[in-house]
Each structure stands twice: as structure tokens, then as C-alpha cells.
Copies of this chain bind each other. A is one copy, B any other.
Amino acid sequence: MNAHVLQPPDPDRSVAERIAEVLTRRIVLGELPPGHKVGQDLVAAEFRASHVPVREAFRRLEARGLLVSEPRRGVRVAPIAPEAVHEVTEMRAALEVLALREAAEALTDADLQEARQALAAEEESGELIVWEEANRRFHRALVTPCRMPRLLQAIDDLHQASARYLLATWKSLDWEPRSDAEHRAILDALTSGDVEAAAAVLREHILAAGRALRQRLVALGRI
């Protein structure tokens, strides 16, 4: 019996991969809140799958820091704590700056064009989730040319965590479109070939965004 009613069959991707993908999206979007218990049998039933690929998907998300697993007690959606925001922010700053420096010499006009388009998409976006997608596109355009798969994967994982913190903290309601002046400054520096200036702005940009997020999160905690 072919089991994949909801998802397209797609023989090139394993069931575990597809489950991991859907669960990732739900966690990042906040549909599954922090601390939420994710029962393997429930997920298996939903995806018309057995518990084996579900457990494999759990292991993937655990490695990415989206799920936490307690022995004999199953898995839960990772909590959102100010310390974790700080951690992810600092790691992003360190690794994205590294990636940008490594990408710089390989950076083509097409890459810069992609970043410009992402920036335009940010400025057009009226909704947080749309802005966040463009934001990720922008950052990714700058680092992808470094061609370091392990580094890029680590940055992607951290970005996912960041996006989750952002969406959980600023609900679309009270979010207002931001100027993205820093993104523009990074692009200008890169266009004029000043990689170090771009790296410095990128670093401060990530840290500032992290600080804002952390403050807001602490404030929410006090309410």
C-alpha cells in the first residue's frame, strides 16, 4: 500500500526526510510551541507511516536543536530561553562573518544581484513572516559562494533557530516593517569591494538583532 496521501510520493526523498521537513516548518512557524510534546505514534499516524522513520526524523531535529529528547519520555519542542537566543546570536555572528570572508573572493555580480533582490523583497514585505523569508534569502546570498557545506549547514541550522525565536517573540500583530539600513550598508561595502567593512557591519547587525530579540523576550517573560 502506498502510504503517502498528503505528501507527494517523491522516491528521491525518504519518508524520514519529509517528516523532518514538515516538523521543522511547524516548529519554526510556532505551530508547535516550545515544550510541546511530540508523540511518535501520533506523528506516525498523521503521516501514515510507521514509527521508524518518525524516530529518524526526531534524531535529525534533535541534532538541529529544534527538539529535545529525554530518555524514555520522548521528545519535546525545544524551549525558547534568552540564553539560547544569546548563544545562537553569537554563533551566527562568528560563523556568518567567517563565511562572508571566505565567500568574498568568489562573490559574483549575480550573488550581489540576488542579495539586492532579497533586500527589495524585505522592503516590500508588510508581514513578519514574509520579511523573515527575504531576510534569510539576503543572508544566504552573501555566504553561499564560500562553498563550505559544513559551515553553510551550521549557519542554516542557526538561522532556523533565529527565525523561530523571531516569530515566537514578535507575533505578526505588533511587528512593524523595519528599514534594513544595515543590510544596505553591507551591500554597499561589498559593492565597493570593502570586505572587512562589510564583515564588521554584518557582525554588528547580527548582534544588534540578537540583543533586540533577547530584550523583547525577557520583557515578555516578565509580563
Indicate if the CB atoms of A88 and B150 lie closer than 8 Å. Answer: yes
Write out the residue numbers on chain B whose beta carbons fall within 8 Å of the beta carbon of A111.
Answer: none
Q: Mark A18-62, 1 if CB is under 8 A from B, else 0.
A: 000000000000000000000000000000000010011001100
- Chain B residues near A13 (CB-CB < 8 A): 71
A-B contact pairs, 10 of them (CB 8 A): A12-B71, A55-B56, A56-B56, A59-B59, A59-B60, A63-B64, A90-B148, A90-B151, A91-B150, A94-B94
Q: B-contacting residues of A (Cβ < 8 Å)?
A: 12-14, 16, 52, 55-56, 59-60, 63-65, 71, 83-84, 86-88, 90-91, 94-95, 97-98, 102, 148-151, 154
Chain B residues positioned under 8 Å from A148 (CB to CB): 83, 86-87, 90
Residues of chain B contacted by A59 (CB below 8 angstroms): 16, 56, 59-60, 63
**A98 x B91 contact (CB < 8 A):** yes
With a cutoff of 8 Å between Cβ atoms, the chain B residues found around residue A150 in the complex are: 65, 84, 87-88, 91
With a CB–CB cut-off of 8 A, which chain B residues contact A65? 150
Contact A98 B94 (CB under 8 A): yes
Say whether A87 contacts B151, CB under 8 Å: yes
> Contacts of A88 on B, CB cut-off 8 Å?
150
Output the nearest chain B residue to A63 by Cβ-Cβ distance: B63
Q: How far is the CB of A60 from chain B (nearest CB, A)?
A: 6
Residues of B close to A151: CB separation below 8 A: 87, 90-91
CA distance A84 to B59 in the complex (A): 24
Ranked 4 nearest A-B pairs via Cβ: A63-B63, A59-B59, A94-B94, A87-B148
